[in-house]
């Protein structure tokens, strides 16, 4: 009888660990297709923000650099040099929960189009499984400015948090 409980407990522990590792390894794709994750051409501004969140959770900083403008890269380089960034971000991922468009301008300051969004982020691990918390459950919000230099160019992130 005791051997049966040990076998059952061992099986339960193995299944629990497998499920835990599976859930921990998930990275929400935010509705982006495999093609959009592979090829960054012709994305909308919202899809660019989602792609930024996807790569941020994977700590794939080289891919993030492809989404940032030269000005944003220079600013990020200053923070890295000053050690102002938090290394714990890799261990404590924060997930994008909502995107709200605040404003849009066309053909100003040398850009074809400029848009400003408020993005909401949560550290709730259930977001990995598709849970959509409300904005009030977000741990923080930040502004993101995206620009398109010409009609045929891709959206790039000009600044994150003003």
Closest to 147 measured CA to CA, from 99, 111, 97: 111
pTM of the model: 0.74
Report the 10 Å Cβ neighbour count for 138: 20
pLDDT digits (tens, 9 = 90+) for 36-70: 888 888 899 999 999 999 988 888 888 888 888 88
What distance in Å separates the CA atoms of residue 98 and residue 31, rounded to the nearest whole number? 12
Q: What is the mean pLDDT of the chain?
A: 79
- Residue in this structure with the two tokens 């990995």, named with its chain if needed: 128
């Amino acid at each position: 009888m005791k051997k049966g409980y040990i076998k059952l407990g061992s099986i339960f522990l193995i299944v629990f660990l497998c499920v835990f590792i599976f859930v921990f390894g998930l990275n929400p794709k935010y509705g982006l297709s495999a093609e959009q994750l592979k090829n960054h051409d012709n994305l909308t501004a919202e899809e660019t923000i989602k792609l930024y969140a996807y790569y941020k959770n994977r700590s794939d900083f080289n891919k993030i650099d492809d989404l940032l403008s030269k000005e944003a890269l220079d600013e990020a380089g200053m923070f890295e040099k000053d050690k102002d960034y938090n290394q714990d971000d890799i261990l404590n991922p924060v997930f994008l929960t909502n995107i709200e468009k605040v404003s849009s301008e066309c053909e100003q300051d040398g850009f074809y189009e400029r848009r400003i969004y408020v993005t909401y982020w949560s550290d709730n691990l259930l977001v990995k499984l598709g849970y959509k918390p409300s904005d009030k459950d977000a741990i923080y919000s930040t502004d993101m400015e995206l620009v398109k230099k010409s009609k045929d160019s891709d959206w790039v992130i000009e600044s994150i948090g003003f």
